[in-house]
Amino acid sequence: MANLKEVRDRVMGSMGRTMFTHVAEGPINALSTCRDGSQVVLAGRNVFKIYGIEDEEFLERANLRVGRKLSLNFSCADVAWHQLDDNLLATAATNGAVITWNLSKSSRSKQDQVFTEHKRTVNKVCFHPTELHVLLSGSQDGTVKLFDLRKKESASTFHGRSESVRDVQFNPHRDYYFSFASTHENGNVLLWDLRRPDKAERFFTAHSGPVFCCDFHPDDKSWLATAGRDKAIKVWEVVPYKQIQEVHCVQTIASVGRIKWRPQRRYHIASCSLLVDFSINIWDIRRPYIPFAAFEEHRDVTTGITWRQDPHIFLSCSKDCTVYQHVFRDAKRPADHANPMGLCFNVKGDISFAASEALGGGGRGKGGSGMYASTRLPSFFRKNPDPTEQFRSVNSNLSVFTNRTQENPTAMDWFVKTAENYCLTGRPLSELCEHNAQVARQLGRHQIVQTWLMLKLIFAGLGTVSDKGVVTSPSLGRIVSLSTTGGQGDLLDRVSQHNETSTVTDMQEAKSTEPPGITKEKDPSEPGEAEPKSALPQSQATDNPAHADLTHVHGDFFFGDGEGGGAYNDYDSLPNMDHIQDWTLPGEAFQPRHEIIDRNPSPEELDRPDSPTSINESETVSLSNEKFLKGTVLSPTPMNPSFLDVRLMSPLVVDMLHHYAEQGDVQMTVSVMIVLGDHLKDQVEEQIQEHWLMSYVDMLGCFKLWMVATEIIKLSYLIGVPSVGTLNQNSTSIHSNCNHCSKPLTQKGWLCTRCQKLVNTCSVCHHVVKGLYVWCQGCSHGGHIHHIQEWLRTNRQCPAGCGHCCQYT
């Protein structure tokens, strides 16, 4: 029966509820409960009251702050209720007095004895756990005093020479009857023997900064916890004749003002902060990073914690003038909010996954060891009834899932290969489509293949069909043979044949469609235009020689067409051409760009063969387009039904672009947009085009496909999205400082206006540098690359002697 009653008592005890009372007088600095925990005394600067703790509420029992003269003696920094005598209280006053109170006194004022020996504020008072008349006090003046309450003055004074005393605490264990600890503002913790006031028995530096509190473990005799301004709670193992060791350390988020071990829970300790953080945290010292439980009721700094014997209930007081009773049932469990897993995709489709071992993230057979057992895991994990035992250090496992096979929906290899191999310009549209279809086919992307082939049929195919009646159409034959054989070698042959047959017709075409005036006007720009086109085959020559030849041959057409003579028939024509033009600068990189900038973007001109969609095709298409543009208005030629098709198709193709974009394949959208170029002019809002282009360029950036990205940026000019096209021209000017006087060079990059000297001479040989100049961005010194290399082999600092540690990385 007795056993049953005990159990019931315990359950009843833990049935307490979270409750609080507000003390009107002001902030509370400390609290202490009587032996049986039924009453609590609250003390503060203006508060000194006793409350009874009922089941549902706090009831005020007595106000000890009475009397005519409320001296500073009533202003309490700390209060202690004797654990043997329910009538005996002690307070530490801010004026340095230590006062005892006898509740059994019949008078209104219960004040008993006043010791005014400390010179400054008394921070802490502490009764001996088993001796009735022994009281300790620790003061800001740096001393600890021992009082025998039967005497009128202190029995002994302990001076630790360690600055102010913040806390004193008797060792509660019988074996250490004479032992107590004091903590000091300089970070030291001193362990004393009551009988030896002259010298501390042991001392150690526990914290960097003041140690605000300490607490002996109620069960483990060797453990002492300390905490301080360095935000740490440390547990020390104090064993006689052995070095004092730090066994646990909890790093909290704010300086710790009070700590208190949780009864019956070996590893749990409650802490509250001195500033910033108003919550009370219960830590499991084995998991020093996340509080086991948190109580966030207080609205200001918590100043005192005391457990009510039951491990599930404790009291706290605060500067917000309230005293709370907290029960664990209402605790917050920060760990439950903590995300137990991390998950991230990378650009290549790899998945990085970190998960708590307890959630099967491990597969090491440790399931159920985590703290989530109570609520989340299926019931068979809930066998262990005590969640506190499961709150232990939990680890995560990190793994990366990679997948490089084509079937993988997240792998992005197709994207990289496609981006690298697609051909977007420089060749007839039909060939571009065919080529790109081929690329897609190799990657097994059949839908894309079909799309490209369809595009070819719609735009290139129909264009030639329309010409069929007017001129002989070699293009059509080419398409057919291409799609039937697809062999690259054949292509070359065919083109050479085509070369013979079509030169004349092409020239005729050009003449028939363009007035002579325009042809002439076009002439001067030709060399410049020819450059990018003839440069293209070189870049592709490695992987695709047939195409190289193909384009090259077309290049010849072009010259044949424009200048009336087929002078350049082989690869050597490229350098020759440079020579013939007699360019003074290596201007090939710049020339086309200026052409583009100065270009008058009238549709007629853009449609001319010198647009990037190259020669043969663009002639036929420009033919059809011009007819398309003007034909209805000007040209009396009868409409060919296929033109209607192109017009009908265009919105469809635009739909398709949108579709691919919606499907996340912006690559396809952009590629088609660029290949079709002017065919889709004005059919898609420029804003959306820009969005697509930038998305694609960003994506290319993700994969470090800078070359492709640059090409896309360059080409976006030509399809009329200059806002993207100018990207490459941003921040191309580098401002530098004179390397003599460090004056910023604003106007000229080579002459300093202040020292009238040539700048950027080599810092090693002091000669003007021609060619490669290396330059430290930090100190703006530099010079010949060889000289700097040589210098830095043996030195770390700048050769100019400026003291800068130059970095060339």
Partner 1 sequence: MFVARSISAEHKDLIHDVSYDFHGRRMATCSSDQTIKVWDLTDDGDWQCTSSWKTHSGSVWKVTWAHPEFGQVLASCSFDRTAAVWEEVVGESLASTQRGQSHWVKRANLVDSRTSVTDVKFAPKHMGLQLATCSADGVVRIYEAPDVMNLSQWSLQHEINTKMSCSCLSWNPSRLHLPMLAVGSDDTNPSAGGKVQIYEYNDNIRKWQKVETLMAITDAVHHISFAPNLGRSYHLLAIATKDVRIITLRCLRKEPNAGANPGGMSKFEIRQAAQFDEHSSQVWRVSWNITGTVLASSGDDGCVRLWKANYLDNWKCISVLRGDGSVSNTAGSSTGPNQLGLAGTGGNFGGSRGFKQGGSGQSSMWY
Interacting positions 70-129 with partner 1 (CB under 8 A): none
Closest CA to 228 of 200, 247, 206: 206
Instruction: List binders of partner 1 among 274-293 (CB under 8 A).
Output: 276, 287, 289-290
CB of 656 to partner 1, least distance (A): 5
Closest CA to 454 of 480, 423, 473, 433: 433
CB of 311 to partner 1, least distance (A): 24
Instruction: List binders of partner 1 among 642-661 (CB under 8 A).
Output: 648-649, 652, 655-656, 658-661
What SS3 string covers 280-304? EEEEECCCCCCCCEEECCCCCCEEE
Assess 438 for contact with partner 1 (CB under 8 A).
no
Instruction: List binders of partner 1 among 224-263 (CB under 8 A).
Output: 231, 251-253
CB of 157 to partner 1, least distance (A): 38
Closest CA to 448 of 476, 415, 481: 415
Please identify, among the stretches 78-86, 92-100, 118-126, 397-405, the one whose residues bind partner 1 according to the rule CB under 8 A. 397-405
Assess 761 for contact with partner 1 (CB under 8 A).
no
Assess 408 for contact with partner 1 (CB under 8 A).
yes
Measured in whole angstroms, the distance separating CA 614 from the mean position of its chain's CA atoms is: 46
CB of 465 to partner 1, least distance (A): 16
737 CB-contact burial (10 Å; exposed 0-12 / middle 13-18 / buried 19+): middle
Nearest-10 crossing angle of helices 429-442, 446-455: 170
CB of 299 to partner 1, least distance (A): 12
Please identify, among the stretches 82-90, 318-326, 403-411, 571-579, the one whose residues bind partner 1 according to the rule CB under 8 A. 403-411
In whole angstroms, give the CA distance from residue 68 to residue 624: 110
CB of 341 to partner 1, least distance (A): 5
Assess 664 for contact with partner 1 (CB under 8 A).
yes
What does the block give as tokens for 723? Answer: 């806002």
Assess 394 for contact with partner 1 (CB under 8 A).
yes
Using CB under 8 A, pick the residue from 240, 444, 487, 603 that binds partner 1.
Answer: 444
Using CB under 8 A, pick the residue from 264, 393, 632, 789 that binds partner 1.
Answer: 393
Instruction: List binders of partner 1 among 445-464 (CB under 8 A).
Output: 445-448, 450-451, 453-454
Angle value at C-alpha 642, between 636 and 644, nearest 5 degrees: 75
Output b/e per residue, 668-704; b: 16+ Cβ within 10 A. Answer: bbbbbbbbbbbbbbeebeeeebbebbbbbbebbeebe
In whole angstroms, give the CA distance from residue 607 to residue 595: 15
Sequence-distant (≥ 6) Cβ neighbours of residue 584 within 8 angstroms: none
Size of the site for partner 1 (CB under 8 A): 100
CB of 34 to partner 1, least distance (A): 36
Closer to partner 1 by CB, 141 or 413: give it: 413
Using CB under 8 A, pick the residue from 65, 376, 382, 522 that binds partner 1.
Answer: 376
Closer to partner 1 by CB, 52 or 722: give it: 722
CB of 365 to partner 1, least distance (A): 10
What does the block give as tokens for 768? Answer: 């003007």
CB of 32 to partner 1, least distance (A): 30
DSSP, collapsed to helix, strand or coil, labels residue 66 as coil
Assess 396 for contact with partner 1 (CB under 8 A).
yes
Assess 516 for contact with partner 1 (CB under 8 A).
no
Please identify, among the stretches 664-672, 706-714, 754-762, 772-780, the one whose residues bind partner 1 according to the rule CB under 8 A. 664-672
Closest CA to 52 of 323, 311, 307, 259: 323
Closer to partner 1 by CB, 402 or 635: give it: 402
Instruction: List binders of partner 1 among 612-631 (CB under 8 A).
Output: none
Closer to partner 1 by CB, 32 or 451: give it: 451
Assess 683 for contact with partner 1 (CB under 8 A).
no
Rg (CA), the chain: 44
CB of 398 to partner 1, least distance (A): 4
CB of 175 to partner 1, least distance (A): 35
For residues 79 and 30, the answer to whether their CB atoms sit within 8 Å is yes
What values do phi and psi take at 107, rounded to 5?
A: -70, 170
Please identify, among the stretches 177-185, 297-305, 401-409, 779-787, the one whose residues bind partner 1 according to the rule CB under 8 A. 401-409
CB of 293 to partner 1, least distance (A): 14
List alpha helices for 19-153, DSSP H.
none
In whole angstroms, give the CA distance from residue 43 to residue 542: 88
CB of 680 to partner 1, least distance (A): 15
CB of 416 to partner 1, least distance (A): 12
What does the block give as tokens for 688? Answer: 């959306």
DSSP string computed for 147-197: EETTSSSEEEEEE-SSS-EEEEEE--SGGGTTEEEEEETTSEEEEEETT-T
In whole angstroms, give the CA distance from residue 678 to residue 114: 99
For residues 397 and 354, the answer to whether their CB atoms sit within 8 Å is yes
Instruction: List binders of partner 1 among 712-731 (CB under 8 A).
Output: none
Assess 157 for contact with partner 1 (CB under 8 A).
no
Assess 366 for contact with partner 1 (CB under 8 A).
no
Closer to partner 1 by CB, 236 or 696: give it: 696
Assess 805 for contact with partner 1 (CB under 8 A).
yes
Closer to partner 1 by CB, 398 or 634: give it: 398
Integer CA distances (angstroms), 491 to 46, 152, 422, 462, 556, in order? 100, 117, 18, 21, 17
Please identify, among the stretches 220-228, 309-317, 633-641, 700-708, the one whose residues bind partner 1 according to the rule CB under 8 A. 700-708
Using CB under 8 A, pick the residue from 361, 461, 677, 782 that binds partner 1.
Answer: 361
Closest CA to 505 of 475, 534, 462: 475
Assess 155 for contact with partner 1 (CB under 8 A).
no
What are the residues facing 269 on neighbouring strands?
261, 283
Please identify, among the stretches 71-79, 267-275, 702-710, 773-781, the one whose residues bind partner 1 according to the rule CB under 8 A. 702-710
Other CB atoms within 10 Å distance of the CB of residue 136: 26
CB of 400 to partner 1, least distance (A): 5
User: Which single residue is written with the structure tokens 């469609």?
Assistant: 513
Using CB under 8 A, pick the residue from 19, 62, 155, 377 that binds partner 1.
Answer: 377
Instruction: List binders of partner 1 among 301-360 (CB under 8 A).
Output: 334, 337-356, 359-360
Using CB under 8 A, pick the residue from 699, 708, 724, 745 that binds partner 1.
Answer: 699
Using CB under 8 A, pick the residue from 107, 242, 409, 572 that binds partner 1.
Answer: 409
In whole angstroms, give the CA distance from residue 268 to residue 261: 6
